[in-house]
Amino acid sequence: MSNFYNKVIGEGWLGRQDGVVAFTITKVAAPLTVATLVIIFFSWLVKKLIIKTKSLPPPPPGPIGLPILGHLLFIKPDFLQYVTEQSKIHGPIIKLQLGRKVYIIISSPSIAKQILKDHDAIFANRDIPVAAIKGTFGGLDIVWRSNGPELQKLRKLVVREIMSNKGLDACYEFRRREIRQMVKNIHGKLGSPINLSEQIFLTTLSVTISMLWGGSLNGEEAKLGLEIKDRLEEFMKLMGEPNISDIFPMLRPFNLQGIESKTKKHLSWFYGFLESVIKQRMKLGEGPKMAD
């Protein structure tokens, strides 16, 4: 046996003089070094993951779900009632898994205040629904944009240009005129049925249009206001409608429920409306030129 080891060591590592067996230390050392480094790296990575997992706080309690589907099959038609029942069982903070998404539901007003007000910066970011991605250029508006410098700029812009005392005072006459017109319209329909929500919406829309580019929705233009109202309601409904693509992101390219295409359709209409307003204002701005 000793002769065998001596032969292997002598011929394998040091090489034979006749060159038949030419294993060298260099040829063996390189693969061994790489293998050792790979083993060390994966050992360090596994150790780090174990330490990180142990350091994380345990998730909130919640109902036991199924693999992949989570709690989708157990949710009742009245989602709020289902969540309320689960909160009574598991406490004010519960975990609910819907497909590939995990949701943390808060039912305590005091805890909700801490999350939404005291620690708003920590919990500001959230997953954007597919409909919102299509309807806001990838979530770039003030509602869905991720928390950061750009969102702060948008908030300051809205406060300075729209919500400031100076801006509100400048639009006082617009608001006064449109509200008086609404009261006049309602008074003229005494004794007949009236859709109060439509009247309030048209007034609000007219005030907004007056603040942005002047004018209002009167006469035939009121029909356009009602169409805007219907499309806005449908658009907001699409934003909040449960979408299988939100629960299982891998299904997003298939657009199984058609929500993305419907959102694009309404968005194209709004773009066309705004484009027509811009062209109209540009024509009014040009006007007849004075002769020299």
Q: pLDDT digit string (tens) for 108-154?
A: 999 999 988 888 888 888 888 888 888 888 888 888 888 888 888 98
109 belongs to a structural domain: yes
Q: Check residues 230 and 15 and name the one with the higher pLDDT.
A: 230
Q: Would residue 265 count as lying in a domain?
A: yes
Tell me whether residue 223 is in a domain: yes
How many whole angstroms separate alpha carbon 27 and alpha carbon 174? 86
* Amino acid present at 96: L
235 and 277 both lie in a single domain: yes
17 within a domain of the structure (yes/no) = yes
88 and 17 in one domain? no
Residue 62, domain member (yes or no): no
* Domains contained in the chain, number: 3
Q: How far apart are CA 99 and CA 151, in angstroms?
A: 30
- Tell me which of 156 and 34 has the higher pLDDT: 156
159 with 282, same domain: the answer is yes
Q: Are residues 230 and 274 in the same domain?
A: yes
Enclosing domain of residue 41: 2-55
Q: Are residues 255 and 181 in the same domain?
A: yes
Q: What is the pLDDT of residues 11-45, one digit of tens each?
A: 444 444 444 444 454 555 566 677 677 777 777 77
Instruction: Say if residue 221 is in the same domain as residue 276.
Output: yes
Confidence (pLDDT) at 51: 66
Q: pLDDT band for position 290 (50/70/90)?
A: very low
Instruction: Give residue 208's pLDDT.
Output: 79
Give yes or no: residues 176 and 225 share one domain.
yes
Residue 250 lies in a domain: yes
Q: Do the domain assignments include residue 96? A: yes
Are 164 and 274 part of one and the same domain? Answer: yes
pLDDT attached to residue 160: 84
Cα distances (angstroms) measured from residue 147 to each of 67, 164, 240: 32, 22, 21
Q: Which pLDDT score, from 0 to 100, does residue 219 have? A: 59
pLDDT at position 61 is: 92
Model confidence at 253, in pLDDT bands (50, 70, 90)?
Answer: confident
Task: Return the minimum-mean-pLDDT range out of 38-42, 122-126, 248-252, 273-277.
Answer: 38-42
Residue 271 included in any domain? yes
